[in-house]
Amino acid sequence: MDIGEVKEGRYIYGIIRNSEKIDFGPIGIGSRNDHVYGVTYKDICAVVSSSPDIQYQARRANMIAHQKVLEEVMKNFNVLPVRFSTISPHDNDDAIIRILTEDYKRFDDLLDKMKGKKELGLKVVAEESKIYENIIQKYDSIRSLRDKLINQPSDKIHYQRVKIGEMVAEALKKEIENYKTQILDTLRPIAEDVKITDNYGNLMILNAAFLIKEVKEHAFDQAVNELDQKYGDVMTFKYVGTLPPYNFVNLSINTKGG
């Protein structure tokens, strides 16, 4: 299809609690710098911009543009993020109002649930040399076998070296799980909810998102800092916030009806 034939629609970024006219500026997804603004029904507001009715590819530039709009909105509102590349195929706001009308109860309940809460992300990765050094010091059986082999010819100790590798790998899994438990035992009581993502790489200790009440954010920050001080010589803490609550709300909206 020729680009000139592509229909116009409305890209939906998120849902907020708002009943007033609102404009977030020319920050819309894509290269046109469309204005992002609010379409309201009662006290519920969809944050939208004009957009070609296309499927945006999940490329870095598009994902960042989508997130930047949500981050701008979050400066003043709790936001329910809508799934990436959700577009109403109608070149007017009437279809958006129909969506808000039909889904009002769901949006209203979710906004109440998320009021005064935010998502914070935490990734914790073990420092390779330090954690292996700790394992050698902590596990007598590994250290003893290693010491016996130090001056042995390498061609004579192949089996023993494989055995040490297996013992270290098993000890690493155990240590990673222990550290993960200790970190979660500290942070989970402060959070409203926690979503743990699968680790990538054998040195990742924790990859998690925490839903935090804003009034508890300082306490959570302090707890993370104390964990960093306690374990910082063995692991690296990457603490990210404030994020749209993607891990706790990611609205799927039917835009094809009406």
44-58, 139-153, 217-231, 242-256: segment of lowest average pLDDT: 139-153
Q: What is the pLDDT of residue 241?
A: 77
Band (pLDDT 50/70/90 cuts) for residue 257 is low
Q: Decide if pLDDT at 258 tops 60.
A: no
Decide if 256 is inside a domain: no
- 148-191: pLDDT as tens digits: 767 676 666 667 778 878 888 888 999 999 999 999 999 999 99
For residue 118, the surrounding DSSP H or E stretch is strand 117-126
Q: In this predicted model, which residue has the larger pLDDT, 128 or 124?
A: 124
Q: Decide if pLDDT at 137 tops 90.
A: no
Q: What is the pLDDT of residue 141?
A: 79
- What is d(CA 91, CA 105) in angstroms, rounded to the nearest whole number? 25
Task: Please state whether the predicted TM-score (pTM) of the whole model is above 0.85.
Answer: no
- 23 with 37: CB under 8 angstroms? yes
Q: What is the pLDDT of residue 151?
A: 66
Is the domain of 128 the same as that of 106?
A: no
The parent domain of residue 22 ranges over 3-115
Query: Residue 214 contacts by C-beta under 8 Å, 6 or more apart in sequence?
Result: 116, 117, 118
Q: Which of the listed residues 85, 115, 145 is the one where a domain comes to its end?
A: 115
Q: Whose structure tokens read 């076998």? A: 145
Q: In this predicted model, which residue has the larger pLDDT, 150 or 95?
A: 95
Q: Which of the listed residues 115, 135, 160 is the one where a domain comes to its end?
A: 115
Q: What is the number of domains present in the chain? A: 2
Decide if 204 is inside a domain: yes
Q: Decide if pLDDT at 5 tops 90.
A: no
Q: What is the pLDDT of residue 4?
A: 54
Is the domain of 86 the same as that of 125?
A: no
Band (pLDDT 50/70/90 cuts) for residue 2 is very low
At 215, which CATH number? 3.30.70
Bridge partners (DSSP) listed for residue 50? 10
Q: Which of the listed residues 115, 146, 172 is the one where a domain comes to its end?
A: 115
